[in-house]
Amino acid sequence: MTAKNKKTDFLKFFRVSLKHECWQWFGVKHLNGYGRFRFNGKYYLAHRFSWEFYKGEIPEKLDVCHTCDNPSCVNPSHLFLGTHQQNMQDRTQKERQAKGELIGNSKLTEEDIILIKDLYQRYKIPHSKLAKMFQVNKSGISRIINKQMWKHIK
C-alpha cells in the first residue's frame, strides 16, 4: 500500500473540527484512551501518527504530548514534543496522574481513607489494628495518617 492509502486509513477515524477543539479519535483505543490503528500489519498510535503526518518526524526518545490532556485527541495544534520526564512533569503539574481508587492495584476506597483517618483521630486506634481491620500493611496506614499517601483526601 502507498503512503496515500495510509493517510486515507488514518483520516477515516476522526473528524476535523475547529482548530482550537479536540479532533476526537473514534477508532480503536487502548485502555488508556489513546487511539490506535493498524496499517499493513503494523500498529500506530494515532496521536503520534498525527504529529508525523502534519508536523514531521518525531526525534528519537521524545514523546508526543497533549496540551488538551485528551489522550484520544489527534489535533496537531494540541500536540507538542517532550521528553518522557517532561511529559510526566506536565501530568503531575496538571494533577492528571492516577491517585486513590484510580490506581489499578488500590485496595482501599476514598470512603475507607476517610474512615481510617476518623478512627485514628477520634479513637487513637493503633496503626497495626487499623491495618488488620482494612487488610493492608501497617506502613500503608502510617503513610495515610502522615499524609504521604491519599493526600487529596482531607
- Decide: helix, strand or coil at residue 44: strand
CA nearest to 113, candidates 83, 139, 151, 70: 151
Q: Where are the domains of the chain?
A: 3-93, 100-145
The per-residue pLDDT for range 13-50, each reduced to its tens digit, is: 887 766 679 999 988 988 788 999 887 788 889 999 99
- Indicate the DSSP class of residue 61: T
**CATH architecture of the domain formed by 3-93:** Alpha-Beta Complex (3.90)
pTM for the full model?
Answer: 0.60
* pLDDT of 106 over the 80 cut: no
CA nearest to 54, candidates 103, 109, 9, 10: 10
